[in-house]
Each structure stands twice: as C-alpha cells, then as structure tokens.
Structure 1
Amino acid sequence: MAERHFAPDVPELRSRWGGFTWDKAHAPEAARALAKYPEGRKASAVIPLLDLAQRQVGAETGTQGWLPIPVIEFVAAECGLPPVRAMEVASFYTMFNLVPVGKYHVQLCGTTPCMLRGSDDVLAACEKRGIKKGYTTSDGLFTLTEVECLGACANAPMVQINDDNFEDLTEESMGAVLDALASGKPVKPGSQIGRQTSCAEGGPTNLKKMTERNYDYRPMWAEAGEGA
C-alpha cells in the first residue's frame, strides 16, 4: 500500500485552489447529495461531496482528480464539519487521492490471489513502459499505485484504472490496455478473456440450461427426492 500523505499546504496551493467552489456541472449534484440529509446531519454527505470535488478537480486539470487541502476545507464547510474531520475521511479511504495523479490512475492489486495469478507480470508490463509504483509518468498520463484487495479475486490478476476494472490480465493484455490508453484508443473494461462477470472461465460447468432461459430445475429435484 502506498504511503498516504497530503500535498504540502503551500502558498501556491492556496493561490490555485483557495477559491474552489462548485462549477455549473457539479453544483446540481452537490445540492442533490446534501438534500438527502436533514439539517444537523449534513456531515453524512462528506464522502459523496469529496468524491464530487475530486472529479471536478480532475475535470479542471485533465487528470483522474485529487483533493488539495483547500478543496477539502470547502467540502467540510458544505457539510458543517471542522476541516480536520473531512481530512480524516479523505485520508482513510484510498478512493481519494491526496496528491496529484495522472490522467489514468492505475491501481494494481498485489494481494495474495492476484499475486498467485500473476500480478508481477502485470507490474512488469507497467514498468516496461516507464510506469513505476508511486510515481506519475513525465507526460502526466499514468500514475501507478499498488493497493490491497479490490474485490475481483475470482478474475485475478486485475487493476483498477480510474473508475473501471480490468481483469484476467496477462503481461501482454495489460500492455495492450496501457498502449491503447496512451494513444487515445478505446479500451474494453472487465475481463480481458471474455469471461462473463465472475463465471467459470470458459463458461458454466453446471446448470447450463439456465444460460438459455430461466429453466426450472425444481421438478427434477423433487422427483429425485421422492425416489430416495
């Protein structure tokens, strides 16, 4: 897991982000999030508002987005929280970036299932393209972070790039994804071997008629029970 720390709260940071407020695209979403909670309970909106603020910063900077301290302070004020409370939330959840990241934030799972299924090969594909853990490439395109389990163990190894998962990866397929992103070409999220969600590789091995229609096996099971 990468070390978590806030970007230094220097005058340049204050000059750039001290006047942060919702833009026209994000203001309605912020209002909807706050409206879900009664007065005195607006603190419950801190996670969706932090996420929204990160996305707005991303839209302004052409990156996946991050949370400068002045932006976190703005969100805290929106929720009626002391700034430190919002900072606690932002620093706890790794969905929030505390320092600038690239246009594509590659989060590589290195937990045991992914490791056993070849996460080192996925990492090698990144490193061959100059994408190193804990750093952003000089062109600002890629940031690579190693994270803990992302919940797609059945389709290991996998990475999350911005909002999308890429699963059943090999060094070759990971390289193809990175090359496509670098050249502005579309990529297909999800399994890279055509697996349906987390079904067995190659398709189902039992209850196969369920793939054709909503097949009812219950009469067959009842007859088997009676024979017993």
Structure 2
Amino acid sequence: MPDPILHLSNLDVRYGRTQALSGIGLSLYEGEAVGLLGTNGAGKTTLLNAVSGFLRPSGGTLELFGEPIHQCPPHQIVRRGLLQLSQERDLFGDLTVLDNLRLGSLARAPKTFDRNLERVFHYFPRLKERVAQRASTMSGGEQQMLAIGRALMAEPRIMLFDEPSAGLSPLFVQEIGAMMRALRNDGDVSILLVEQNMLLAAQVIDRFYMLRAGTVVAEGPVSELEQDHEELARRYYL
C-alpha cells in the first residue's frame, strides 16, 4: 500500500474543557474519496477545521503528504494543496463570477488561470453562462458551484467538502454529486466529504468513517452503504 497523503492518528480536539474529538484515526489515499458521516454534533466539521488549521489539536498527530501540519496556520496548509469548502461558501458577493474565480487562482496557480478556468467551465457550464453576474445575485446552488469552482482554480490535491448538499434543491444536489464523482474519477483530486445525505455520499465515496460524539464508531467500504438507508440511519445515527 502507498503511504496516505492525509493521515490522522489518535487525534484529540478540545473546546476549553469540552472534548470535541477523541482518538480519531483516519487515512486518505491519493485519488480516493472518503466520507465522514454522522449526525449534527458528531464532530465532522470540527475534524475538518482541525485538518485545515482553523483548530489546534490538543493531542495526536496530523500529517499531510508525510509532513506534520498540526502547528501550521490555514494559509500554509492551503499552499500545500489542501482546501476546505465551508457551508458558508465565503464568496465575494459584490464581485462577478469571473473575479471570484480569478481570486481562487492567486495563491497557488496564477500562471495556469486560463487552463483552470476551462476546467471549471467543463464541470460547471452554468458558470460560463454567468461570468459577468455578481455572486450575491446567484441562487444557492449556483453559489455552491462557484465556491467549488473557485477552489479548483487553486489546483488543490485534496478538497474537504462540508455538507455540500445542505439547503440545495434536489436538482442542484444531483449536479453537485455528479461533479464530485467526475472529480474523483479524473483522479487529480482526493476528497474528504462531510455529508448527512447517505444517498449522495454513497454515490461519491470509496470508503467511509462514521462519527458519533467525537469518536469513530465504524468504518468500511462504500458497499456497506448500499443497504437500506433507514436501517443504516437507525444503526449509526440513533
């Protein structure tokens, strides 16, 4: 087996005296998509924020491409090729689609802007039709597409998705899911996906980790999610 490109071992995170994550172990290999599943409050977003450098672990190890990053600030982790897409999307609402995409390329890939722009338009033709539209006037689904597209402009090697389906219509959920599947199949980007929608997750990921109360309670291949989803929810979420 090759070495994982992202590896967590016995990771702990605290909010003051509260233990938010305890003994988390997780690996992500190049070219695969891994799901982080669980109910609200299970610790999924906390884990992403620890990986991205927004939270400082209180114990354990956190390695990116074989190097420790638990002391690195977020901007250094981004420059190493790991980007997180938060639920807030963090777009510049007064700027156009094109300007938001241009900002995405500045940190890591300013010289390949044109090539990456065509790549984004390949995944999201809708954005090409709206290059001059201000981000704040777009629908929620279109803004999610723009947030993903802006991240792709930085040529990430790992993308962390935090509930990309939240608040979206079924049509946009299908489009976002299709894009993540294509991204995984192209093999250029590895994915860590936080998602409560098991049906969507099962269409995208290769493996999963199930979190409950800040610990990993189960893990396995995506085939285990092809069972009755209501039964899975009762088993893992209740």
User: Could you say which TM-score interval applies, normalised by the shorter chain?
Assistant: under 0.3
**TM-score between both structures, scaled by the size of structure 1:** 0.28
**Larger RCO (CA under 8 A, 6+ residues apart):** 2
The structure having more radius of gyration, on CA atoms, is: 1
**TM-score between both structures, scaled by the size of structure 2:** 0.27
Higher relative strand content: 2
